[in-house]
Structure 1
Amino acid sequence: MSAHLRLPARITACLFDLDGVLTRTAEVHAAAWKQTFDAFLRRRGAGELARPFDADRDYGEYVDGRPRVDGVRAFLDARGITLPEGTPEDAASAETVHGLARRKNELVRALIASDGVKAYEGSVRFLAAARDAGLACALVTSSENATAVVDAAGLAHMFAATVDSTVAHTLGLAGKPAPDVFLEAARRLGVEPADAAVFEDALAGVAAGRAGAFGLVVGVDRVGRGAELRATGADIVVDDLAELLSER
């Protein structure tokens, strides 16, 4: 028995975020951000200034879905902390925006290397059904580790195009919540935004899908943020992509 996609008839392409939509790596990123920021905040002082990073609220509001340095800037700005920008070559120990970003990425890579990567079973089924139905699929992620993650999860063969942080940097594309990376993915697939569906678990990603006037923006709610995803612009919200499949 084959699976039928419950998508609008005009949709001919699917643009997928990675962490939290396809793979169980959002919690890895949240843990790495918390470890990075908590250590930094403890060094800054006591009391409110050292209030720990909230792996649910702060992660969702400031860093989830954004390019890593943008996430550092957004969180520090929310806490009223100013740091030198530094450069991408800064060491992980540097007290700069880029230094914190590097520290976080080193922690993520270590966690992935030690624990591996698991894909959501419902997402794998949906991806397979989309390909079987002839829909073009692209990966759209702010991650620098996308290649390693999809390889580890066995998903690399599923995508006709990938727009990750390396591509965005090379082309000078603004990160989510700007729609640029999704628009570039649609261009690479040869489809109009109105004919493509965006799948995102991050508020910034949903905002990007809405800003790009895509035909469908699907919010994937893994942590109880359904109302926020809808308010940010999701057309529909699901707990798992398997909800968009029906057997026939």
Structure 2
Amino acid sequence: MTRFGLPGVITACLFDLDGVLTKTAVVHAAAWKETFDDFLRQRDGPGFRPFDAVADYDEYVDGRPRADGVRTFLASRGIELPEGSDDEPPQLQTVRGLGNRKNLLVLEKIRTQGVEAYPGSVRYVETVRAAGMSTAVVSSSANCRDVLASAGIEELFDVRIDGVVAAERRLPGKPHPDTFLEAAHDLGVEPAAAAVFEDALAGMDAGRAGRFGAVVGVDRVGQADALRAHGADIVVQDLAELLEAGP
């Protein structure tokens, strides 16, 4: 028996933010590309190999905490940088400096372009809440609350575990399952009674590692096979597809 495309035992839904709820994944990818391309151009000259905003973003950056994304991508190119401090100036070539540069670019793009939620995702969240399920947003972004407010969907979630909360509670980010597990705990449900909704490969890994009752992959960029390979039980292009399964 299923409800809204999920096993009948599911009573809580844990949603990633960028790419699942809001159309901000493309903004993040563009900010990462600008950041890394500037760095690589300075380091390697005009013949540098650019950051791929699809392949490199999906494999090394998407879904990870900001500093982890910097380290993982640089490691793929055989590059090591000093760590730096949390308040590192964005022009410095350190892990934290590059991360802070990317964050400034994202905030500027969000400020000038605004934030839009996926209508199908909003309808899905509203529907499962009306049916009595609890909901949480789980994101590595430190800007999660501002994005939710800008998109007008902050009130749709009972719990928010984001980059700020994860730092306060010393939770490792995706692909570790800890942030999703913390959301389930705060909602008062066991992992087996919760479903994870993710578009990132690192998020798929986290959902599978946490032994959640269902892991839903949201394929916005044509990576359905990769999402399944990383643990998705079901893959959809939009959450509204799950509503066709009925209550």
Structure 2 length normalisation: TM-score? 0.97
**Other structure's SS at 2:7 match:** coil
CA distance in 2, matches of 1:14, 1:119: 17
Which of 190, 193, 202 lines up with 2:191 in the alignment?
193
Q: Which residue of 2 aligns with 1:184?
A: 182
Match of 1:212, as an amino acid? Answer: G
Q: After superposition, where does 1:54-93 map in structure 2 within 5 Å?
A: 54-93=52-91
Q: Which amino acid aligns with 1:235?
A: D
The answer to whether residue 145 in structure 2 is matched with residue 161 in structure 1 is no
Which SS does the other structure have where 2:150 is aligned?
helix
Q: Measure, in 1, the Cα distance between the counterparts of 2:149 and 2:162.
A: 14
- Spell out, residue by residue over 1:137-192, the C-alpha distance to the aligned partner (whole angstroms, 9 max, x if none): 00000001101100011100000000001111111111100000000000000000
> Which residue does the alignment assign to 1:38?
37
Q: 2:171 aligns with which of 155, 170, 173?
A: 173
Secondary structure at the counterpart of residue 137 of structure 2: strand
Matches within 5 A, 1:1-248: 5-46=4-45, 50-246=48-244
The normalised TM-score by structure 1 is: 0.96
CA offsets per residue over residues 184-223 of structure 1, 9 Å max, x none?
0000000000000000000000100000000000000000
Identity of aligned residues (%): 61
User: Structure 1: which 4+ aligned runs deviate by more than 4 Å?
Assistant: none
Q: Cα offset for 1:6?
A: 2.4
- SS of equivalent to 1:214: coil
How far apart in 2 are the matches of 1:46 and 1:38? Answer: 10
Amino acid at match of 1:12: T
Question: Alignment length, in residue pairs?
Answer: 244
3-state SS of the aligned residue for 1:94? coil
RMSD: 1.1
